[in-house]
A and B are shown apart, each in its own frame.
Chain A
Amino acid sequence: MSEEKQQVSRRQFLNYTLTGVGGFMAAGLLISPIRMAIDPVLKPSSAGEYANVGLAVEDITTEPQRVDWKIDQVDGWYESKVNRSAWVFKNENDEIMALSPTCTHLGCVVSWEGSEDHPNEFFCPCHDGRYYKDGTNIAGTPPTRPLDLYDHKVENGMLYLGKAQVRGEA
């Protein structure tokens, strides 16, 4: 009999504790968005850093080539290696261009000359999205803005890529 009593109180105790933790978590959820908004120190910043993508500048031609690299990313629960890719080439003005391969429609991966019917363009296999070589989306296909453009810099003859920048509508 007394044992049962003890059981109940133990259960109650656990219940109280859990409710307490729950309340604490709810409070945390309420607070954190505001803190994120006002405290720039708490915002993730690693995205702005440059990474060596393993391509020598002298190997960059006018023909887009795909480079893949990894960055460390802390994303909420996980700290992980994230794969990044870019299409890299030199444009008519001899400037280096590094385009994000992520289709601006719904995010599939685009390829340079990915369709035989559309030479000299980037092509998205999902809904036939198309882009000119400079990444500008071709009117009449689903994408609504150009491919993002990576910040880049050159150090010791190697290409470094940073953040992908959104560009305005064509």
Chain B
Amino acid sequence: MKWNEQDIENYVGAKEYIDTIILPLLPFQLSQDANTKKDAFASEVLTIFSNEIEKELTGRILLTPSYYYLKSADKEQEVKRLNAWVEDMKKQPFKHIFYVSFDSSWKKNEKDLNGNLLWLPGIQSGDVHSEEMQKLIRQQVQQIVELIRSYW
């Protein structure tokens, strides 16, 4: 399920079946010319990625809006905010929280995050619409789906 009216209507009618959250973490920062293009690309890929995971498992997961952060920001602060999101989500019967991200710097704070961090080694650049990229993404999606299922 996604964060749109139709899906949320379905969600409300079937809450007891939807116990898993997918929360994409995306860096957004315009001040660092060296990284903007890379970050924008990562955002495109991660969005496709999260949508594909959602498609496979739509009946049991809720894909939340992405969490955007400045890369230079203090991660401890960010973790606090994220945990506040999660605390609020957990007022509903969610058992599993998965963060998806290409940004390895979350790894350092993983233990403080309420939930599981699925860190994906980033695809650095390329054409998101090319055949190879689609294949690559599909393979990774299958692996992530397996991983998520192993938590159920």
Contact = CB atoms under 8 A, between A and B. Distances in A.
B58 A107 contact: yes
B125 to A, nearest CB: 23
Given A106-B10, A106-B60, A108-B60, A126 B55 contact: no
Interface string A103-122: 10111110000000000000
Nearest to B58: A107
A127 interface: yes
A108 B58 contact: yes
A54 interface: no
Interface of A: 103, 105-109, 124-127, 142
A103 B57 CA distance: 10
Interface of B: 10, 14, 17-18, 55-60, 145, 149, 152
A106 B18 CA distance: 9
Q: In the complex, which of the residues B14, B59, B145 has the most CB atoms of chain A within 10 Å of its own CB atom? A: B59
A143 to B, nearest CB: 10
B92 to A, nearest CB: 16
A147 B132 CA distance: 31
Contacts of B10: 106
B142 to A, nearest CB: 11
A126 B1 CA distance: 13
Contact of A106 (B14, B56, B149, B152): B14
Contacts of A109: 55-57
Contact of A127 (B17, B55, B56, B145): B17
Nearest to A105: B59
